[in-house]
Each structure stands twice: as C-alpha cells, then as structure tokens.
Structure 1
Amino acid sequence: MLAKSIDDYLAMPYTIEVVRDESEGYSGWFARVVELPGCMTQADTFEELGEMIEDAMRVWIEVALEDGQAIPEPRPAEDYSGKFVVRVPKSLHRELVEAAEREGVSLNAFVNVALGRAIGSLQAVAAKPHPDHIPEPA
C-alpha cells in the first residue's frame, strides 16, 4: 500500500470549525481542524481564512509525516445517525415542553435549536485563547 502524500490528506473532507473573533478589540476569524489537534489559524478577513487554514493543515501534516506520527483521517458522516436518547429529570422535561409550546414549535424542534445554540456558545468560548496562552508558531 502506498503512503498518502500531503496533497492526499488535504483533499480529504476534514471538519473545520470557523468562529468570528471579536475579542479584545480584534475583529477577525479563527479556524481549527477538529481531527488535527493543534491545527488552527486566524485571519483578518473570512476570505483570507481558507488559504490560511490550508497552509496550517499542510504544515501540520508535513511535520506529522516527518516525525512518523499517524495522521487522523476525517470521521465519516455516516457515523452519525442524527438520533440519540437523553434521559432528563421530569421537571426539565416539563420546562422544555412548556417552552416549546410558548414558541409554537415541537419539542424536537425546540431542543434541536437549544442544543445548536448551546454548542455554538461553547465553541466560541473554547476558541478564545486563554489570557496566559502563548501561541505556538505556525
């Protein structure tokens, strides 16, 4: 079996998270590759971000190959059915049903939006560098 090249890896459908960064007077964009730990970049404009993340991926993969490290591949979308079961306290179930009724939507639709907002908030917080963090050179 032939070893994959950097371009082979770059052609794979990696998951890239993009967050608008407006912290500490800065206005720009932050991106990270979910499957490649530490592979991230930022850019002043959204248009610049695509090239910047590709450069970051190229360097990340090149260093991993040189060091003989395994390079994670993207997780196939088929691994996710879109369904899961969550057990919640009766009181929370009631609150969710009542909130969905107030909004005029199904419980499923309400929870879907609530989870999407919650994960978006968590990702925005996680994307902000810690004040004591010293960025690694790209």
Structure 2
Amino acid sequence: MSNDYRYEVILYWSRRDDAYIAIVPELAGCAVDGPTRQEALSAVEVVIAEWIETAKELGRPIPEPRGRLMYA
C-alpha cells in the first residue's frame, strides 16, 4: 500500500470532538480524527489508501489530486 498520495488534507482542532480532524475534500467522506496532529495525519494516510482500494474494488472513479496544499 503506497502512501505517496498527493491529496489536499484540511487539518483542524475540533473543540466539540476534543480531537484534531483531518478531512480529504477530494475524496467524499474521507475524514479521520486523532488526539494529536501527528496521529490525525498518520491516520488520514491509511484512510486515503483504504478509500482508493475500496473505490478500485467497486469500480468507482478515483479523482486525480488537484495539486493544491498537502495540508492546511
């Protein structure tokens, strides 16, 4: 499983969830949380790979990365 994906990741602190949230806007529903920034970013790499693997298995299109920020 490669984790050299170039998708934009939006990372922010959620007071309501008491966690960092990492969202991948280009991949519908692709989001994770973690107690630290590093854990959220590590977890989002795994979820991106799983999202892509599932899309391939289901024959769904995989969006090309737009080449924007790696995280914001």
Shift of residue 11, structure 1, vs aligned partner: 1.8
1:49 corresponding residue in structure 2: 40
Q: Could you state the TM-score of these two structures normalised by the residue count of structure 2?
A: 0.82
2:31 corresponding residue in structure 1: 40
SS across alignment from 2:33: strand
Unaligned runs of 5+ in 1: 1-5, 78-138
SS across alignment from 1:73: coil
2:21 corresponding residue in structure 1: 30
With a CA cutoff of 8 Å and minimum separation of 6, indicate the structure with the bigger relative contact order: 2
- Residues 19 and 35 of structure 2 are in contact (CA less than 8 Å); yes or no, is this contact kept in structure 1? yes
Task: Say what the alpha-carbon RMSD is for the aligned residues.
Answer: 1.5
1:61 corresponding residue in structure 2: 52
Which structure has the highest helix share of the two? 1
Superposition map of 1:1-138 within 5 A: 7=2, 10-23=3-16, 26-77=17-68
Unaligned runs of 5+ in 2: none
Any runs of at least 4 consecutive aligned residues in structure 1 with deviations exceeding 2 A, and if so which?
A: none
SS across alignment from 2:22: strand
Rounded Cα–Cα distance in structure 1 between residues aligned with 2:39 and 2:67: 27
Which structure has the highest strand share of the two? 2
Rounded Cα–Cα distance in structure 1 between residues aligned with 2:33 and 2:41: 10
